[in-house]
Amino acid sequence: METGGFNVATDALLEIALVLIDMHGDGTLRRGATHDFHVRPFEGARLDPASLAVTGIDPWHPLRPALPERDALQRVFREVRHAVRAYNCRRAILVGHNAAFDLAFLNAAVARADVKRNPFHPFSCFDTATLAGAALGQTVLAKAITVAGLDWDADSAHNARYDAERSADLFCLVCNRLRDSHRCAEERARELGWVSDAAEAALGEPPLDAELPPL
Check residue 215 and give its pLDDT. 39
Reading the chain (215 residues) residue by residue, the pLDDT tens digits are 999 999 999 999 999 999 999 999 888 999 999 999 999 999 999 999 999 999 999 999 999 999 999 999 999 999 999 999 999 999 999 999 999 999 999 999 999 999 988 999 999 999 999 999 999 999 999 999 999 999 999 999 999 999 999 999 999 999 999 999 988 998 999 899 887 654 454 444 555 555 444 43
Q: 88 to each of 33, 91, 169, how far by Cα in Å?
A: 18, 9, 23
Check residue 26 and give its pLDDT. 87
Q: What is the Cα–Cα distance from 111 to 197, expressed in whole angstroms?
A: 33
Where b means 16+ CB within 10 Å and e means fewer, 114-145 reads ebeebbbbbeebbbbbebbeebbebbebeebb
Is the separation of the CB atoms in 39 and 72 below 8 Å? yes
Check residue 196 and give its pLDDT. 61
Check residue 214 and give its pLDDT. 42
Q: 159 to each of 109, 154, 180, how far by Cα in Å?
A: 19, 10, 34
Q: What is the Cα–Cα distance from 158 to 114, expressed in whole angstroms?
A: 27
Out of 61, 97, 158, 182, the active site residue is 158
182 is catalytic: no
